[in-house]
Amino acid sequence: MSVIGSILAGLGGIGMLVCWIMVLVKMFKNDKPLIGVLGILCSLWAYIWGWMKSGPLNLKKVMMLWTLSIVLWGIGYGIVMTGAVKAGIDSGAIKVQ
């Protein structure tokens, strides 16, 4: 089960990276350079900026894909962590009383 979670988290991570880069390109082309630098330093700012400018800059599809990638990554991460906790309980590493 954790293999499926790893695949989901990996696909979500790749999707987030690609969308982040696409939004960064738009940031540098359409706004001040400082805004782009902030987007590099803080991807959350790039995400928020992308949603704020999604209409005028035609970023709706990219932002929807970025949001879907975040959800996919979160589901995959949750599956992996659930498998890790279960493996720890089964091996006796974690004692449940």
Q: Is 12 exposed, middle or buried (0-12, 13-18, 19+ CB in 10 A)?
A: buried
Taking residues 80-97, report their average pLDDT.
72
Asked if the structure places residue 14 within a domain, the reply is yes
Asked if the structure places residue 6 within a domain, the reply is yes
> Domains in the chain: how many in total?
1
Predicted local distance difference test score (pLDDT) of residue 48: 97
Q: Closest by alpha carbon to 15, among 52, 67, 59, 55?
A: 67
Asked if the structure places residue 96 within a domain, the reply is no
Q: Quick one: DSSP state of residue 29?
A: H
Asked if the structure places residue 95 within a domain, the reply is no
Q: Identify the domain containing residue 10 by its residue range.
A: 2-86
Asked if the structure places residue 94 within a domain, the reply is no
pTM score of the predicted model: 0.85
Taking residues 43-67, report their average pLDDT.
96
Spell out the residues 6+ positions from residue 27 whose beta carbon is closer than 8 angstroms to its own. 35, 36, 39, 46, 49
Asked if the structure places residue 37 within a domain, the reply is yes
Residue 60 · residue 54 · CB < 8 Å: yes
